[in-house]
Structure 1
Amino acid sequence: MREPPLHLDRVPDPKLQHVLEEVIRAETTLELLVGIYEVVKPALIEAYQLHQLETNRFMDQPTYRAIRFILMEEEEMVAWGQSAIQALIRTKQDSEAAEAWRSHLLSYLHHAGGIRGEHTQAEPHNLPPARFNGESYKPQFYPKRDERFIDMFNRSAAIDDYYQDEALQPDERTYALMYKRLREMDVPEWMCPILFTANDKPWDYYVDLSRQLYDEARHAMMGEIGLYQSGIPFYRYPIDIKASVSLNTAFTPLESHIILWGIEQDLMSGKSGKKWEHDIAVQSGMPLAITLQDYDWADEVLHAQIGRKWLQPEFGALSEMHVAYEEMRKKWIETTDKYVNLSEQTPWWPQFVMEMREGWERRNEVGHYGG
């Protein structure tokens, strides 16, 4: 702090870097969660707590205060993560795999001396064989969904048309909006390559894009809650993944980003965009749906601004961004057409609407309206 710049983008300790390189090479969801919530975050919490114990609370009050709030959030995250880990441990083999990976990572963390580098360090010959071989991590960007998801290229339901169809009842149009929110789980999938491949960007870039990724994941969970209010598991019906599959395999991250921005920019129209979606939810009289669309609307206004902020320097002018978007959108439509034959395209929307209506009626009978 006394000799800026601080160079926070530089690795402070190669051994600590090795710990994180091991964590990211988790081979299963269970391993990834164990690495984050049973190794890295608990070690961070310990480091924060030690700082609070050792520092002068008068001299270092700003830091002490900041750590109080950081600890509250980190402890909440660890509690959630540990619950998720327990949900994934279904067999003795799962339990043994989780413990083996935890022990593996703790060995490397111990070798690094902990987060603060002050604990007793193990000798290298005592370390288990590393998964990190010195090469840069290369993720697989092809989207993966677990065994609960079915018929993932079924696009027989024209959801984007249903909510816009004024001939349909307001409740069905609102169910289409809920499903559209649920389907947004593909947006974080195609945002990951954008973020991962962005090198040497200003810190604000990563903050903005991470905030947007969080929002998009939250939107999908909003849709999930909308289905669960009628007693429908979110994975019961097909959730089409052609968008993220095509963008992650046939487009560059910059091309994917311009498509993402273009979609969000189009949603700023008062007659056909987010305001209109909110109006549809209001017509349905469903408090939860109204709240859902209200926050979705607010988020997308921010997202359109984020896209413009970081993409315009790449293209030089807003008009060039629009041209690039139209070109990429046409290519995108052509690319997604090849996935049609990967599904029998069995219709499911009428059954879904019937189930949603029945579930909503049950909630009304017992006085649970959502909000």
Structure 2
Amino acid sequence: MTLPESTVFPPAALRSHQINGAKPESWSSQTIASGVTQLTTLFALQRELVRSSAAWLAGVPYWDAKEQLARHILADARAAEAVLQRLHELKASGVEHQQVAGVQALGHDLACAPHGDAWLRAHYRVVKPALIAELTSFLQRSDPVMDAPTHDVIRHVRAVWQTQVSWFVEFTPSYSAWEYADDETANWESRVKAVMALVSLDAADFYPRDARLSPGERSADFEGIARVRRDKTCRLANDTGFPREGATFEQKRFLVFYNHTQEMQFAESLGEILYETVEMPWAFHLDLARHLADEVRHAGMGVERLRQLGVELTEIPMQTQHYKFRTNMSAMERFCLMTLVMEATAFERKRANVELFESHGDEVSLLYETYDIRDEMLHTNLGHVWVPILLRVYHDARSVKALTEHCRGLIAQVITTYPANAANMVRR
């Protein structure tokens, strides 16, 4: 190619700059390595927040807060997965297995609130807003042109957290009042705010040791897992007084959807598993987040169907003893029991429910129960995938079959004495 004689090369504007190292006055950006380090820290932090939020599903007393919290856990897990995928695109292999100094300690400290009110307020008023600010700073440090894929991911994570923070601004429990006033949780919020002020994704020391909570500032008894809670307007009962099988269609239908409302206990046990299995791969926690959210959705479905039939949540007895029974098992036994025993053996009963609803022309109940069966198929498959891996990770020599039979024996004990001794049948 021959340039016209009138063409000046390079253009005068280009010649006016020092070609090597020239950059716009407003331009600044971090290196790829620095960005990867910060994204790795962000992913590790997201994972810890998913774990601690899952643990607090049991300790938060408000039903409607539990429903939202489950959605947030799943949204946060999926957002973390998006960050991980971007890290893999940047050729940062194995980051899901890395321990980032200070991140697990921060997650533990933030989880050690004295009660559910304090945890909720600090989580949504302090922790998430502070992290939103960190993501905004990351965007300012990162090149918007060549690192646009990272910007897309970070904006998505930020939008997820902004939606959650906005929800809590307007939140008031629907079924009961707050158990503690704002001034009664102010000390915990203030301490968490001081901690979060020192946390930075681009700091060499992510969570300085001198900023960490002292044992006296943390709850001595981890309330998230230790005690399952319900709204004070709910009536707790080990024995509902209901028959195991209804005599009429209306009674049978009521029992089906009443039992669905009690799936909140199932979700809370999954949250406990998610928190306790820090050694397991990230993919397991991602699957558990989905499983947990599904079970809360099933409980909400039970509440909604009973409401459609004229029965409110506060009119029915709530059970928590099954959660307590499962806490006496190891996380591995608990997961095996729940997926390969309880869910795997429920299909015959659930399909009978579908036939019952179909024969009576109950389209709503039919649809709800059919969706439930599809979800349970997914959950049972998770058991087949992850129980063998749990056995290997926790160095248990039993076969999947042997562990399943052991868990089947545990649930048989509970059924034999159901329900009075359900919380006391298994001791560590």
Superposition TM-score, scaled by structure 2 size: 0.65
Q: CA deviation at 1:155?
A: 3.1
Equivalent residues in 2 for 1:175-214 (5 A)? 175-214=254-293
The residue number in structure 2 matching 1:278 is 354
The residue number in structure 2 matching 1:326 is 408
**1:289-319: CA deviation from partner (whole Å, max 9, x where unpaired):** 3332232111100000001111135376554
The residue number in structure 1 matching 2:330 is 252
Counterpart among 92, 96, 101 of residue 183 in structure 2: 96
**Residues 122 and 77 from structure 1, CA distance in 2 versus in 1: closer, same or farther, beyond 3 angstroms?**
same
The residue number in structure 2 matching 1:61 is 148
**1:26-85: CA deviation from partner (whole Å, max 9, x where unpaired):** 112111111211112112222223333443333112222223332332222222233336
Separation of aligned partners in 1, 2:241 and 2:266: 20
> Contact (CA 8 Å) 1:185, 1:220: kept in 2 or not?
yes
What 5-or-longer segments of structure 2 have no aligned partner?
A: 1-35, 37-89, 392-396
Separation of aligned partners in 1, 2:136 and 2:224: 33
Separation of aligned partners in 2, 1:259 and 1:50: 45
Matched residue type, 1:141: A
Cα RMSD after superposing both structures: 3.7
Separation of aligned partners in 1, 2:331 and 2:418: 17
Given the alignment of the two structures, is residue 168 of structure 1 paired with residue 256 of structure 2, yes or no?
Answer: no
Given the alignment of the two structures, is residue 33 of structure 1 paired with residue 113 of structure 2, yes or no?
Answer: no
Matched residue type, 1:51: F
Figure out how many residues of one structure are paired with residues of the other and give that number: 327
Q: CA deviation at 1:180?
A: 1.2
Q: CA deviation at 1:328?
A: 2.1
Range with greater deviation from structure 2 (198-207 or 139-148): 139-148
Counterpart among 350, 374, 378 of residue 298 in structure 1: 374
> Contact (CA 8 Å) 1:25, 1:131: kept in 2 or not?
no
Superposition TM-score, scaled by structure 1 size: 0.74
Q: CA deviation at 1:17?
A: 5.1
Separation of aligned partners in 2, 1:148 and 1:134: 26
Q: CA deviation at 1:236?
A: 1.7
Separation of aligned partners in 2, 1:24 and 1:282: 46
Separation of aligned partners in 1, 2:143 and 2:263: 47
Matched residue type, 2:116: T
**Residues 199 and 331 from structure 1, CA distance in 2 versus in 1: closer, same or farther, beyond 3 angstroms?**
farther
**Residues 322 and 306 from structure 1, CA distance in 2 versus in 1: closer, same or farther, beyond 3 angstroms?**
same
Q: CA deviation at 1:158?
A: 3.0
Q: CA deviation at 1:178?
A: 1.2
Q: CA deviation at 1:265?
A: 0.9
Separation of aligned partners in 2, 1:35 and 1:85: 15
Separation of aligned partners in 1, 2:110 and 2:163: 21
Matched residue type, 2:330: T
SS of equivalent residue, structure 2 residue 100: coil
Separation of aligned partners in 2, 1:336 and 1:173: 19
The residue number in structure 1 matching 2:80 is none
> Contact (CA 8 Å) 2:238, 2:419: kept in 1 or not?
no
Given the alignment of the two structures, is residue 71 of structure 1 paired with residue 71 of structure 2, yes or no?
Answer: no
**Residues 277 and 339 from structure 1, CA distance in 2 versus in 1: closer, same or farther, beyond 3 angstroms?**
same
The residue number in structure 2 matching 1:352 is none
SS of equivalent residue, structure 1 residue 210: helix
Separation of aligned partners in 2, 1:62 and 1:5: 17
Matched residue type, 1:221: G
Separation of aligned partners in 2, 1:316 and 1:124: 44
Separation of aligned partners in 2, 1:30 and 1:284: 44
> Contact (CA 8 Å) 1:149, 1:235: kept in 2 or not?
yes
**1:70-119: CA deviation from partner (whole Å, max 9, x where unpaired):** 2332222222233336878759x71212333222211111133x454499
Separation of aligned partners in 1, 2:119 and 2:366: 36
Q: CA deviation at 1:179?
A: 0.8
Matched residue type, 2:333: E
Bigger CA radius of gyration:
2
The residue number in structure 2 matching 1:289 is 365
Separation of aligned partners in 2, 1:296 and 1:305: 14
Q: Matched residues, percent identical?
A: 19
Separation of aligned partners in 2, 1:128 and 1:265: 43
Separation of aligned partners in 2, 1:318 and 1:266: 16
Separation of aligned partners in 2, 1:294 and 1:221: 15
Matched residue type, 1:67: I
Separation of aligned partners in 2, 1:190 and 1:267: 18
Separation of aligned partners in 2, 1:67 and 1:145: 35
Equivalent residues in 2 for 1:211-222 (5 A)? 211-222=290-301
